[in-house]
Amino acid sequence: MNARGNLEHSPNAEPGAGGRVDAARVLALAHNVLATEAAAIVAMATRVGTPFVVAVELLLYCRGRVIVSGMGKSGHIARKLAATLASTGTPAFFVHPAEASHGDLGMIAPDDVVLMLSYSGETDELVGLVPHLKREGAALIAFTGNEASSLAQAADVHLDAAVDSEACPLGLAPTASTTAALALGDALALALLDARGFSVEDFARSHPGGALGRRLLTRVGDIMRTGDALPTSPTTATLGEAIVEMSRKGMGMTAIIDSDGRVAGIFTDGDLRRSLERVRDVAATNVTEVMTPSPRTISVGQLAVDCVEAMERVPKVQVLLVVDEQAKLVGALHLHDLFRARVV
């Protein structure tokens, strides 16, 4: 034991006796596990057929909700499947089979479809619920590894999730079987996604807190600067007045607008530096003489992420003016606003 309390490994220590692990054995086992689980999925893919199509149709036209259930390791896969379905356009939730017989059966209605996951197809907690589901009128889809099992025989649709062997070297821990069930559940969820015509925008609405949701839901109007925070100068303003407005609002620019509120140009820090080389009287120079005409603009309803492409075009800019259909100024968007909104 060293000073930090860790076991000191001797180069000559026997594997499994507190010494170094046998690297070759560890890697061989890892390769075998991955190969076994990959082979299980490939083999299952060859068996996917008409029952899978029927299951997709049953879920697609379900007038109620989808309830997913399973015990133990299958229960963990069932929870993940319920979450995947819900996030891809199929309302679904997980019900624990042990809790179902103690009141949670009240969550299941006649128009619902129940998905049960059990490799053996004989899990007591699931099999015991079948008569109640049948009496209620809910449809049943079963994922099992045994088509002759009680659950498979009672189901309206049985999906074969059998594997030749588990990846566990002891042949005990659910490994290849849970991987196969997970992959089959993903296939079912994504087939439903496609059948529903579920779009990227639909996915974003289900994930508003994620990066994709922010990119696809945040509009220019949500984050643009308006009102007193928006630097503007009339076309009659002097260069000096424009500099004051630009400095006061802290956007590194001021929008130049005509008497009707339409954008005539933009005056930026870069314009200021260039003007200093040729302007002698700041107070006497009209800002329109040194502004950049026809600045880049964007509409209020566009996605904020579209601003990134507009800003990156050569020459690059850090500010876009936001205009309405009549080219009237309604706001402005700085690159920093996109960062603060975590759009980029």
Task: Check whether residue 189 and residue 236 sit in a common domain.
Answer: no
Give pLDDT, residue 232: 96
DSSP bridge pairs for 94: 68
Q: What is the pLDDT of residue 11?
A: 46
pLDDT at 3: 44
Residue 268 Ramachandran class (φ > 0 left, ψ -120 to 50 alpha, else beta): beta
Tell me the three state secondary structure of residue 157.
Answer: strand
Pair 151, 253 in one domain: no
pLDDT of residue 9: 45
The pLDDT value recorded for residue 211 is: 56
**Do 235 and 323 have their domain in common?**
yes
| 334 Cβ contact partners less than 8 Å away, ≥ 6 residues apart | 225, 251, 252, 318, 319
Percent of the chain with pLDDT over 70: 87
CATH classification of the domain holding 100: 3.40.50.10490
Q: How many domains does the chain have?
A: 2
> Which segments of the chain have a pLDDT < 70?
1-19, 101-103, 106, 199-217, 344
**Are 187 and 225 in the same domain?**
no
User: Do the Cβ atoms of 128 and 101 come closer than 8 Å?
Assistant: yes
The 10s digit of each residue's pLDDT in 211-254 is 555 666 688 998 999 999 999 999 999 999 999 999 999 999 99
Q: What pLDDT score does 204 carry? A: 58
Alpha-carbon gap, residue 236 to 242, rounded angstroms = 10
* Residue span of the structural domain in which 261 resides: 220-340
Give yes or no: residues 160 and 225 share one domain.
no
- Evaluate whether residue 7 is within a structural domain: no
